[in-house]
Amino acid sequence: MFESLKKNIQSVQDGITAGLGSRLQRLSVGEKSATTPTESNVNLAAGEDLLQMYQTQWATMHHMAEQNAKMAQDIDSAITTLTHECENQHGQMAEIHSLLAHLPNIMAQLHSMLATIGSLRGLFEEVEGGLLALEDLEEDLALQEKTLDLRLSLALSREKHNHRLNALRSELSVTHQAKMVALERHQETQRKEREQVFSEQFTEDIKNYKEQGIVTRRISSSDDEQGLKLEEVDLEQDTSELDQFLNDPA
Q: What is the pLDDT of residue 84?
A: 92
Q: What is the pLDDT of residue 224?
A: 45
Amino acid at 30: G
Q: What is the pLDDT of residue 48?
A: 73
- Residue 199 contacts residue 240 (beta carbons within 8 Å): no
The reported pTM is 0.31
- Residue 192 contacts residue 198 (beta carbons within 8 Å): no
Q: What is the per-residue DSSP string for 70-122? A: HHHHHHHHHHHHHHHHHHHHHHHHHHHHHHHHTHHHHHHHHHHHHHHHHHHHH
Q: What is the pLDDT of residue 18?
A: 64
Q: What is the pLDDT of residue 34?
A: 46
- Residue 182 contacts residue 223 (beta carbons within 8 Å): no
pLDDT per position in the chain (250 positions), as tens?
A: 556 655 666 665 666 666 655 655 555 555 444 444 444 455 556 567 777 888 888 888 888 888 888 888 898 899 999 999 999 999 999 888 888 888 888 888 888 999 999 888 889 899 999 999 999 999 999 999 999 999 898 988 888 888 888 888 888 888 888 888 899 888 889 888 888 888 888 888 888 877 776 655 554 444 444 444 544 545 455 556 556 656 665 4
d(CA 68, CA 10): 13
Q: What is the per-residue DSSP string for 25-73? A: HHHHHHHHT-SS--GGG--THHHHHHHHHHHHHHHHHHHHHHHHHHHHH
